[in-house]
């Protein structure tokens, strides 16, 4: 039997969180180390994180995609 999920059901909630990425996912997606990410943020060369709670932050996936698209490509 096939189950359909309505947009208002609780099963649809996790997809909304895919719009925000925590540090581990950001490191995996960008290939950068934590220290490099924070160094680039300090230099205003990387998207700013969004405050989730007192100590938890995440990055908007769209901001990371725009940042990645703006990076120069290397030709060999």
| Mean pLDDT (whole number) for 17-35 | 93
Which conformational region is residue 44 in: left (phi greater than 0), alpha (psi within -120 to 50 degrees), or beta?
Answer: left
Q: How far apart are CA 69 and CA 41, in angstroms?
A: 17
Per-residue model confidence (pLDDT) at position 15: 58
Q: pLDDT digits over 29-70, tens only?
A: 999 999 999 999 999 999 999 999 999 999 999 999 999 999
What pTM did the predictor assign? 0.73
Per-residue model confidence (pLDDT) at position 2: 53
Per-residue model confidence (pLDDT) at position 6: 46
pLDDT band of residue 9 (cuts 50, 70, 90) is very low
């Amino acid at each position: 039997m096939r189950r359909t999920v309505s947009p208002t059901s609780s099963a649809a909630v996790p997809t909304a969180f895919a719009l925000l990425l925590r540090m581990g996912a950001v490191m995996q997606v960008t290939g950068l180390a934590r220290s490099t990410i924070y160094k680039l943020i300090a230099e205003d060369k990387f998207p700013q994180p969004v405050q989730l709670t007192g100590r938890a932050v995440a990055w908007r996936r769209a901001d990371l995609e725009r940042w990645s698209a703006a990076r120069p490509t290397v030709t060999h």
